[in-house]
Chain A
Amino acid sequence: MTLWAHELRLLLRQRLSAFALVLLALLSVAAIVAGMAEIARQRAAIAAIPAAQAEDIGAVADYVDRTRDAGSAAYYSFHPTWDAPSPLAFAALGMRDVSPFILRVRALGLEAQIYDGDTFNPELALPGRFDFAFVLVFLAPLFVIALFHDLVSGEREAGRQRTLDALPRGGAALWRRRTLLRLALLWTALALPFAIAAAIEGVATGPILIVLAVTLAYLLFWIALTALVARCRWSSVANAATLAALWLVLVLIVPTLGHVAINRAVPIAQGAEIALAQREAVNHAWDIPRDDTMRRFYAAHPEWADSPPLGSEFHYKWYLAFHQNADEGVAGQVRAYREGLERRDRAGRALGWLLPSVGVQGLLTRLAHTDLAGQLAYQDRIRAYHARLRSFYYGYLFRDRPFAKADFRRAPRFDDDTAS
Chain B
Amino acid sequence: MRIVRLIARDELRLMLRNRVALIAFALIMLLTLVAIASSWSHQRSIADLRARHQHEAEHAFDAQPDRHPHRMVHYGHFIFRPPGPLAAFDPGVDAFTGNSMFLEGHRQNTANFGDVRQSSLLLRFGQLTPAFVLQIIAPLLMIFLGFGALARETERGTLSLLMLQGASRGQVVAGKLLALGLVAAAVAAPAILGLVAIAGQPGALALPMLTIALGYLLYLGLWTVLIVFVSTMVRRSRDSLLVLVALWAVTTILLPRAVPDVAANAVPLRNRLQTDVAIARDLRRLGDSHNPDDPHFAQFKQRLLDRYKVTRVEDLPLNYKGLLAIEGERLTSGLFDRYAGESYTAQTRQNGLVDASGLLSPAIALRGLSMAAAGTDFAAHRRFLEQAEAYRYALVQRLNRMEAEAVSYADDTATDADADRRKRVAATNWQAMPDFRFVAPDGSMLARAALPGLALLAVWLAGASALLALATRRLGARR
Nearest residue (CB) in B for A236 is B238
Instruction: Check B100–A275 contact: CB distance below 8 A.
Output: yes
Q: Which chain A residues border B280 with CB–CB below 8 Å? A: 56, 59
Instruction: Check A116–B128 contact: CB distance below 8 A.
Output: no
A138 at the B interface (CB under 8 A): yes
Q: Tell me the B71-101 residues at the A interface (CB within 8 Å).
A: 71, 74-76, 78, 80, 92-93, 96-100
Nearest residue (CB) in B for A104 is B273
Chain B proximity of A182: nearest CB distance (Å): 16
Q: Tell me the B242-293 residues at the A interface (CB within 8 Å).
A: 242, 245-246, 249, 253-254, 256-258, 260-261, 263-265, 268-277, 280-281, 284, 288, 290-291
A2 at the B interface (CB under 8 A): no
List the one stretch of B111-119, B196-204, B295-303 in contact with chain A: B111-119
Chain A proximity of B272: nearest CB distance (Å): 5
Instruction: Check B120–A347 contact: CB distance below 8 A.
Output: yes
Q: Which chain A residues border B49 with CB–CB below 8 Å? A: 270
Nearest residue (CB) in A for B368 is A123
List the one stretch of B347-355, B450-458, B466-474 in contact with chain A: B347-355
Instruction: Check B238–A272 contact: CB distance below 8 A.
Output: no
Count A-side interface residues using an 8 Å CB cutoff.
98
Q: Which chain B residues border A139 with CB–CB below 8 Å? A: 249, 253-254
Main secondary structure of the interface of B (DSSP, over half): helix
Asked if A262 meets B122 with Cβ closer than 8 Å, knowing A98-B116, A126-B93, A240-B245, the reply is: yes
A302 at the B interface (CB under 8 A): no
Asked if A275 meets B24 with Cβ closer than 8 Å, knowing A260-B128, A283-B71, the reply is: no
Instruction: Check B137–A276 contact: CB distance below 8 A.
Output: no
Q: Which chain B residues border A279 with CB–CB below 8 Å? A: 75-76, 78, 102
CA–CA, A279 and B112, complex, Å: 15
Chain A proximity of B97: nearest CB distance (Å): 5
A241's partner among B20, B75, B110, B275 (CB-CB below 8 A) is: B20
Nearest residue (CB) in A for B284 is A59
Chain A proximity of B71: nearest CB distance (Å): 6
A119's partner among B132, B277, B284, B343 (CB-CB below 8 A) is: B343
Instruction: Check A122–B124 contact: CB distance below 8 A.
Output: no
Instruction: Check A259–B274 contact: CB distance below 8 A.
Output: no
Instruction: Check A124–B274 contact: CB distance below 8 A.
Output: no
B264's partner among A48, A95, A124, A362 (CB-CB below 8 A) is: A124
Nearest residue (CB) in B for A27 is B254
Q: Which chain B residues border A125 with CB–CB below 8 Å? A: 93, 96, 116, 260
Chain A proximity of B202: nearest CB distance (Å): 24
Q: Which chain A residues border B165 with CB–CB below 8 Å? A: none
CA–CA, A125 and B112, complex, Å: 16
A344 at the B interface (CB under 8 A): yes
Instruction: Check B93–A286 contact: CB distance below 8 A.
Output: no
Instruction: Check A272–B80 contact: CB distance below 8 A.
Output: yes
Q: Which chain A residues border B273 with CB–CB below 8 Å? A: 45, 49, 52-53, 80, 102, 104
Q: Which chain B residues border A49 with CB–CB below 8 Å? A: 273
A271's partner among B113, B136, B253, B274 (CB-CB below 8 A) is: B113
Asked if A117 meets B98 with Cβ closer than 8 Å, knowing A248-B137, A255-B125, the reply is: yes
CA–CA, A312 and B416, complex, Å: 7
A118 at the B interface (CB under 8 A): yes
Q: Which chain A residues border B122 with CB–CB below 8 Å? A: 255-256, 258-259, 262, 348, 351, 358
Interface centre among B132, B241, B265, B288 (most CB of A within 10 A): B241
CA–CA, A16 and B243, complex, Å: 10
Q: Which chain A residues border B111 with CB–CB below 8 Å? A: 117
Nearest residue (CB) in A for B270 is A119
Instruction: Check B258–A121 contact: CB distance below 8 A.
Output: no
List the one stretch of B53-61, B180-188, B306-314 in contact with chain A: B53-61
B161 at the A interface (CB under 8 A): no
Chain B proximity of A137: nearest CB distance (Å): 9
CA–CA, A19 and B127, complex, Å: 32
CA–CA, A16 and B38, complex, Å: 41
Instruction: Check B256–A244 contact: CB distance below 8 A.
Output: no
Q: Which chain A residues border B270 with CB–CB below 8 Å? A: 119
Nearest residue (CB) in A for B38 is A260
Chain B proximity of A176: nearest CB distance (Å): 24
List the one stretch of A30-38, A193-201, A291-299, A402-410 in contact with chain B: A30-38
Q: Tell me the A103-122 residues at the B interface (CB within 8 Å).
A: 104, 112, 115-122
Instruction: Check A287–B20 contact: CB distance below 8 A.
Output: no
CA–CA, A75 and B96, complex, Å: 31
Instruction: Check A123–B121 contact: CB distance below 8 A.
Output: no
CA–CA, A119 and B351, complex, Å: 15
Instruction: Check A102–B263 contact: CB distance below 8 A.
Output: no
B378 at the A interface (CB under 8 A): yes
B410 at the A interface (CB under 8 A): no
Instruction: Check A121–B65 contact: CB distance below 8 A.
Output: no
Q: Knowing that A244-B140, A259-B122, A276-B78 touch, tell me 4 more A-B residue pairs with CB under 8 angstroms.
A: A121-B264, A123-B93, A128-B125, A275-B113
Chain A residues near B (Cβ < 8 Å): 16, 27, 30, 34, 37-38, 41, 45, 48-49, 52-53, 55-56, 59, 63, 78, 80, 94-95, 98-100, 102, 104, 112, 115-130, 134, 138-139, 142, 146, 150, 236-238, 240-242, 244-245, 248, 251-253, 255-260, 262-263, 268, 270-273, 275-276, 279-280, 283, 286-287, 312-314, 341, 344-345, 347-349, 351, 357-358, 361-362, 365, 371-372, 375
Could you give 20 example pairs across A and B, Cβ below 8 Å? A99-B117, A104-B276, A119-B110, A121-B260, A121-B378, A123-B350, A123-B378, A127-B260, A130-B260, A139-B249, A244-B245, A256-B127, A260-B38, A262-B120, A270-B53, A270-B113, A275-B100, A283-B74, A348-B122, A372-B121
Question: Lowest 10 A-B CB distances belong to which pairs?
Answer: A348-B120, A255-B125, A122-B93, A256-B128, A259-B122, A124-B260, A122-B96, A271-B113, A127-B256, A130-B257
